[in-house]
Amino acid sequence: MKRINKLLIIMFMLLFAITEVFASGGNRTGTGGAAQLLIPVGARGIAMGGSNIAAISGVDALYWNPAGVARMNSSFDAMFSHMNYIADIGVEYGAISAKLEGLGVFSLSIKSISVDEIAITTTQNPDGTGATYKPSFITAGISFSKALTDNIAIGVTGNLVSETLGDVSASGFALDIGVLYNNLASVNGLSFGVAIKNLGPQMQFEGSGLVYQLDSDNLNRPPGLYRAEAAPFELPSRFEIGFSYVPTFDEYNEVVLAGNYINNNFSSDEYKVGAEYGYNNRFFVRGGYVFAPQADDENFIYGFTAGAGISYPVSGLDLKIDYAYRDVEYFDANHIFQVGIGF
């Protein structure tokens, strides 16, 4: 037990020390890249406004706080979701988690962002050459989560990030670290969560699309090929801390209250609040709200969220169907559909 306490103290010291990296994030707005890492997944978390860093478990927790995966009730969990994102962009996500007794929980996840074909234009053909290209954005992750005690869990995710735009591409690695503490201060139902997301080295675009042919009019030399060097960019790192509370009512009714604070490295800080009502652990209604007091109205387009879900046993499987709605300024609202199974 003493070794676990020392480990926790070290981890919390590291987590809070890293927050110095995120100071004055609003002053760096727009200077980061790999924004696909910030697109949320999971209908339950989105419906609660993303406030559930301390109030989520199972495979659903992978994106929000990998430590929560260790709290899965089944031996195997899987989920698949689709989001109608802004500007006709689709987000597909799939993840599986498997519990290995005595070791912990291992998980695999993949997120793909689908964008319609884009016309290729040049200085000579500003209206298009007739050719098109299709951007590709993929994040594939592997995670390990473990419950150290009945109340304390940790989790780590390593994500491979890939972006392709025509004839240029970039790849990188991002690390997520999470800690979850249930029954904080011996208060039954009170949980505390901390997560640091998207830590990793800079990414840089490379490829034949950065090679140009230049002609020399004044020098006696033939045309030559020159390669432009794209500027490297940092990942959109963020630090999250949150609490949740589940008051005791009866065996049929349950309410989850949650709230998060998010310190973004490349945008204004955010505050998220949310709630979930569950009846007989079968039917759920959720709602949430996201606000960023220091952000300009035109730079922060999200706010109200809502959703519902059902969980029902079918042939020995725990089948879950969830839906989430996220209001978006200037664009059509986001709609998220999710199916999950566990056994």
Residue 102 has what pLDDT?
84
Cα distances (Å, whole numbers) of residue 52 to 24, 41, 77, 303 = 25, 13, 19, 16
What's the predicted TM-score (pTM) here?
0.88
In the predicted model, is pLDDT for residue 20 greater than 80?
no
In the predicted model, is pLDDT for residue 24 greater than 50?
no
Which range (51-65, 73-87, 229-243, 297-311) has the least confidence?
297-311
- β-strand partners of 25: none
The DSSP secondary-structure symbol of 330 reads: S
Q: Which residue has the higher pLDDT, 222 or 292?
A: 292
Q: Across all residues in the chain, what is the average pLDDT?
A: 87
Residue range 2-342 forms a domain whose CATH class is: mainly beta
Residue 154 has what pLDDT?
94
CB proximity list for 110: less than 8 A, separation 6 or greater: 93, 94, 95, 138, 139, 140, 141
Tokens of 148: 């150290």
Q: Can you tell me the distance from the alpha carbon of 181 to that of 175, in angstroms, rounded to the nearest whole number? A: 21
Domain ranges across the chain: 2-342
Report residue 123's pLDDT band, with 50, 70 and 90 as the boundaries. Answer: confident
Tokens of 101: 């007794």
For tokens 């989001």, the residue is 83
**pLDDT single digits (tens) 201-238:** 999 999 888 887 777 666 666 777 778 888 899 999 99
